[in-house]
Amino acid sequence: MKIRTRLTLWYTAILFAILVVISALSYSLLRWSLNKDVDDSLLAVGQIVRDVGGIPGPAPLGGAEALVREILGPEFYDKFFRLVDPDGQPRARSPFFAGAAASLSPAALRNARRGAPTFETVALRDGAPARVITLPVLRAGRVVEIVQVGIPLARAHQTLAHYLRTLLILVPVGLLLAAAGGALTARAALARIDTMSRTARRISAEDLAERLARDGTGDELDHLAETLNEMLARLEAAFAEIRRFSADAAHELRTPLTALRGGLEVALRAERTAPQYRAALASSLDDVERLVRLAEDLLLLTRSSAGAEAKAAPVDLEPLVLDVLDTALRLAAGGAVTVRLADAFPRAGDAQLTVTGEAMALRRALLNLVENALKYTPAGGTVELALAREGAEGVIRVRDTGVGIAAADLERIFDPFVRLDAARARATGGAGLGLAIARSIVAAHGGTLAGESAPGRGSVFTIRLPLA
Ligand code: ADP
């Protein structure tokens, strides 16, 4: 069922319930106030009839009634009365007191003898209901006579029936009008959603540039459009990045493949001696190794940026740093770059710095930083590893005294396939994936990796990881 229909139905159902309750309340209020009016007027008339007509002795009723009629005027209209003696025997009655039970009801008689008035609803001879008050006339504390005044209820009942008929017509009409109005309102409010969903359907992965129209009212739908547009912008950026990445990766793969093909073609062009074949194969093997490394790096980057299978285990940072230091010492062996630990490296007895994550991945990230530091630090320089606790974070720093990085490039170098011109030479530079891999591994561990540098004087790369 459409939201529009559901909204209208709910709205109508609630309105119906409200109308029913209000109708019932107003109907009973009207009935109550009509009854009260009848009773009040009966009491008033009864008291006057009692005072005027309730005279002991054989006073002719006709005279009394005429007198009462004169006193009361219109108030007496359609009322009737009769006089009853204290035993309950009717003595005189107005001609209208046609049908009511010949004698007093036992309850009314009982009340009258106690001096209290009684209101009753009785049936007239033709079955029509009437309201009757029974009032005792007291003389010196003794009931000498009983006055009964009645009024047919037909008019009050007619008024009620009329009101009920009006309700029965007005409520459904009101409901119909409200339902129609509700449906129109709902349709108008939801029309924009229709438009939005049509636009959204048009937007595909190929064309993420389109945006949902906003009307600037700042209402919920405007807000929704804004949220969806932000999401589209993020998707567009992500898709663009993926496209760029694929293009860069293809380009990066093509270079060694072209070299490989060239080498093989040259080797096959003529008969070669065994040593020549061996040389050609060895050079091909270099290219293949580069391809394998590239493929591995790509895989690693994809895995770590997808955050997949990060096996969470406690990782002690100190042995990890010492292990990488070991590797760095071996890599630097024979060169003129000094590799060492910072003075402030935690000593035995210091609290352990433990993070949660995958030791192999973290080692890879740190090793990438250290390899870079060694690569871009000329002879005589120093590469220094530091580990410290800063607040709730474990901080690893790789400091070098190498060529440094221009401020404008400092963020760029973390993007995949970015190599700075100075380091473009394939001999030293990798594919430009090292820092991208390191950053995505650290990010997958909830940490950050940032670089600072003074061109010509060296760089510091800082890994911050939340401690377990
Ligand atoms: P690569 O595999 O080429 O080293 P990276 O992503 O690790 O790729 O580094 C990207 C670029 O950042 C490098 O080409 C280099 O120019 C620059 N770079 C990285 N580390 C350093 C450093 N310690 N000193 C100077 N330049 C660096």
CA of 359 to the centre of ligand 1 (A): 23
How far does the centroid of ligand 1 lie from the alpha carbon of residue 448, in Å?
17
Residues with beta carbon inside 6 Å of ligand 1? 368, 372-373, 376, 400, 402-405, 413, 418-420, 423, 429-436, 459
The residue type found at 140 is: A
Distance 419 CA to ligand 1 centre (A): 6
Q: What is the pLDDT of residue 103?
A: 60
Q: Which of 252, 305, 413 to mutate to test the pocket of ligand 1 (most atoms within 8 A of CB)?
A: 413
Distance CA 235, CA 378 (A): 42
Average pLDDT over residues 139-162: 87
Q: What is the pLDDT of residues 42-96, one digit of tens each?
A: 898 888 877 775 444 444 455 666 676 677 777 666 777 788 888 777 777 666 5
Q: Which atom of ligand 1 is nearest to the CA of 437?
A: 6
Mean pLDDT for 113-141 is 84
- Tens digit of pLDDT for each residue in 405-461? 999 999 999 998 888 865 555 455 578 899 999 999 999 999 999 999 999 999 999
Share of the chain above pLDDT 90, in %: 49
Q: By alpha-carbon position, which residue is closest to atom 20 of ligand 1?
A: 372
With a cut of 60, say whether residue 139 has pLDDT above it. yes
Give distance in angstroms: CA of 387 to centre of ligand 1.
Answer: 22
User: What distance in angstroms lies between residue 413's CA and the mean position of ligand 1's atoms?
Assistant: 7
Residues in the chain: 468
Residue nearest to atom 18 of ligand 1 (CA): 372
Tell me the pLDDT tens digit for each residue of 274-313. 999 999 999 999 889 989 989 999 998 888 877 655 678 9
**Residue 115: what pLDDT?**
84
The reported pLDDT for the residue numbered 59 is: 47
pLDDT score of 119: 92
* Mean pLDDT value of segment 202-221: 84
Closest CA to 447 of 367, 362, 387: 362
pLDDT score, position 35: 93
The ligand 1 atom nearest the CA atom of 422: 16
- Which ligand 1 atom sits nearest the alpha carbon of residue 373? 23
Show the 3-state SS of the chain: CCHHHHHHHHHHHHHHHHHHHHHHHHHHHHHHHHHHHHHHHHHHHHHHHHHHHCCCCCCCHHHHHHHHHHHHHHHHCCCEEEEECCCCCEEEECCCCCCCCCCCCHHHHHHHHHCCCEEEEEECCCCCEEEEEEEEEEECCEEEEEEEEEEECHHHHHHHHHHHHHHHHHHHHHHHHHHHHHHHHHHHHHHHHHHHHHHHHHCECCECCCCCCCCCCCCHHHHHHHHHHHHHHHHHHHHHHHHHHHHHHHHHHHHHHHHHHHHHHHHHHCCCCHHHHHHHHHHHHHHHHHHHHHHHHHHHHHHHHHCCCCCCEEEEHHHHHHHHHHHHHHHHCCCCCEEEECCCCCCCCCCCCEEEECHHHHHHHHHHHHHHHHHCCCCCCEEEEEEEEECCEEEEEEEECCCCCCHHHCCHHHCCCCCCHHHCCCCCCCCCCHHHHHHHHHHHCCCEEEEEEECCCEEEEEEEEECC
Q: How far is the CA of 430 from the centre of ligand 1 (A)?
A: 8
Q: Which of 245, 369, 372, 415 to mutate to test the pocket of ligand 1 (most atoms within 8 A of CB)?
A: 372
